[in-house]
Amino acid sequence: MRVKTATLDNFNVLTKALNTNDTDLLAQLIDKIGLEGLMDRDLLHLARGSRQPSVVMFITTLAVENMPQQERAYLVLHAYRSIMGNALVEEIAPLGADHIVVQAVNAIINHHEQIDPPGIVTDIDLANWFDAIELAVDFGRLTLAETLIAGFIANKPADTAIVSLKYRLSERQALLPPQTDWNAMARCHELVLQAIDRKTYEELWDHVNLHAVECYAKAENWDRVAELAKHSEYNAEKHVAFHRLAEAYCQQGDYLSSIREMDRFIETICEQIDLSIDEKAPEKADGAASGDGKDKDAFNPEQAGKALAELQEILEPTGKAIFLVSGTLLGYARTGSVLSHDKDMDVGLFGWEEQFDIVQRILDSGKFKIFFEYIRGNRTYQLPVVHFETGTTIDMFFYRKENNKFVTGINAPWNYLQRFEFSPFVLRETTFLGTKVWVPHNIDQNLTENFGNWRIPEPDYVSHVESPSMMGAGELVHMLVCRLNLVSAITEQKYSRIPRILAVLDHYADRPGHMETHLREMLQTYAKFIDKKFSRRSAS
C-alpha cells in the first residue's frame, strides 16, 4: 500500500499516543491535522492493514460521530468491537446471522471458515462483501478470506467489482507481517485471477498473477512460483517473472535453468536503458561526485569494535575463538582497522557442530539479532548477526577441515552453497579495534589465496566471482553467481565491475552456463555507455 509520508507520520504519532495513553501527544496531533485529517481514508486503511485495532476504533468512532455518511465506519467500528470483545455487539447483531459481515465476524471470533454466502443485489451488498474480506485479512484469517472470496466470486460480480477486490488485496498485501500464511494469500489472488478475463484485462491479469507469485515466493513454495511465473513472461513486468523463475529454479537445484532466467532478466534491464548521452549522468557509486565527499553510511570503527567485543565476550565461555577473515582481515593487514568501504565485519570460527549452542548463547545475551534461515545443520557455513545497539553486522563463517584444507562457504538466500578453501593455519592472538581477537598465523598466504595481490587496493574486486580460493570455479553455481553480481553491479551503480565479471565469464565460455554472445555484447555496450557518461560529467 502506497501512502503519503505525512499520512505515515500521522499514523505513527497516533499509534504511539493511543498505545501509551499520551493525551498530550494526541491533542497535538488533532490540533495539527484536524478531525478531517484523522478520518482520512488512507489513514484508516493503514491502521487496518498494520493491525492496530485501537487506532481503527478511534478513527471509526470519530467518523461515526462527525461524518454525515457514516454507515461504513459504523459497521467497521462495531465489527472490530465485536472481534476484540470476542462477542457480537448489539449494534450489529440486528443485521442478522445471514449478513456477510456478521458471518465474517462470527467466523473470526469462533475460529472457523464456514460461511453461507448471500447473493449480491446492490452496491451496498458489494461494500459489505469487501468489508468482510478485509476484516478476515486484518485479523490474519487468510483461509477465511479465501472462503469469502470464493463465495463472492460465486455470485458472478461485475468486472468492476473484481478490479476493486484486486486493488484491496494488493493494498493489504504490502502491509502483511512476515509470519503471514503466504500460501493462503496466494490462493486468494489465484481466485481473483480465475475471475478475470485475460483477453480483456491482460495487464490486470498479469498483475494479479505476479502478486500470487510473490506470495508463493514468501511461502517458499517454489513449485507454484515456477508454475505461475511462466504465465507472465511476455508482459510489461516480465522482468519480475524472470527473476522469480530464476530464484525458483535455483531453490530447486536446477542451476542451468536459473542461469537462463537470470540472463533473460539481465537482458530486460539492458533493453530498458536509453543509450543516449545527456546532461543527467548518474552519480558514481563511491560518492566522488557528491558535494562534500563524505559517506553518510561510512562504517564506524568504534561501533564495530564494540559489537566485536560483545560477540567475543558472549562466545568466550564456550572456548570458541573468533578470528578475522576476508575483508576484515584485509583491513587489519593493510591499515590495522576496517576498510573505508566496509559495510560489515567478517569473522571465522571452528566447530559448526556446535552451531545450535552458539546460537542459543547469542540469543540469551539479547544483544544480537539472529537470521535463523542461515541455520542449516551440516550445511551451515555462514551465520550473520546484527548488533542491536550499534546496528553493526558481523558475518560469522564456520571453517571445516577437508582434505588438508580449511573450507568455509556462503549460504546464499537462494539456497545455493558457494565454498572456498584455504591452506591450514593456526591462530595467534592480537588486538583489533581495541578488542582481543585472533588472526591466522599465515596472514599473507591467507589473503593471497583470497584476493591475489592483496597489497594493492582494488575497489572493483568481486570476491565471490574472482577469488582464487573459490571451489568449483567455472561450474554452474559460479556461473549463476556471476549473473547475480552483474545485477548487483547495475543496481548498486558499481558499473566498473561489469567488465571484470564478463572477463570471468569469457574465461569459461566453453562451459555449461556460459553467456550468449548477444547478451555479453549488450552488457559491454552498457558498460561503455556508463563510462562515457561519467567521462562527459567529469570533463564538464
HEC string for 260-290: HHHHHHHHHHHHCCCCCCCCCCCCCCCCCCC
pLDDT for 95 beyond 90:
yes
Q: Considering Cα of 159, then 134, then 51, then 46, what sign does the dihedral take?
A: positive
By the 8 A CB rule, do 300 and 311 touch?
no
pLDDT for 282 beyond 50:
no
Question: Which residue did the predictor score with more confidence, 47 or 468?
Answer: 468
Task: Quote the pLDDT of residue 69.
Answer: 67
Task: Quote the pLDDT of residue 277.
Answer: 46
By the 8 A CB rule, do 163 and 190 touch?
no
By the 8 A CB rule, do 265 and 243 touch?
yes
Q: Per-residue confidence at 123, pLDDT binned at 50, 70, 90?
A: confident
pLDDT for 503 beyond 60:
yes
Q: Considering Cα of 327, then 329, then 334, then 338, what sign does the dihedral take?
A: positive
Task: Quote the pLDDT of residue 50.
Answer: 87
Task: Quote the pLDDT of residue 196.
Answer: 94
By the 8 A CB rule, do 151 and 117 touch?
yes
Task: Quote the pLDDT of residue 286.
Answer: 41
By the 8 A CB rule, do 418 and 409 touch?
yes
Nearest partner of 247 among 491, 483, 516, judged by Cα = 483
Domains of the chain: 5-205 (no CATH), 301-458 (3.30.460)
pLDDT for 252 beyond 60:
yes
Cα–Cα distance for residue pair 432/308, rounded to 1 Å:
9
Nearest partner of 508 among 486, 468, 479, judged by Cα = 479
Q: What nine digits make up the cell of 149?
A: 472470496
By the 8 A CB rule, do 314 and 362 touch?
yes
Task: Quote the pLDDT of residue 298.
Answer: 65
By the 8 A CB rule, do 260 and 238 touch?
no
Q: Per-residue confidence at 300, pLDDT binned at 50, 70, 90?
A: confident
Task: Quote the pLDDT of residue 529.
Answer: 78
pLDDT for 285 beyond 50:
no
Please state whether the predicted TM-score (pTM) of the whole model is above 0.75.
yes
- 111-120, 231-240, 303-312, 504-513: which has the minimum mean pLDDT? 231-240
DSSP state of 496: T
Task: Quote the pLDDT of residue 528.
Answer: 80
- 150-154, 273-277, 296-300, 531-535: which has the minimum mean pLDDT? 273-277
Q: What nine digits make up the cell of 264?
A: 533473460
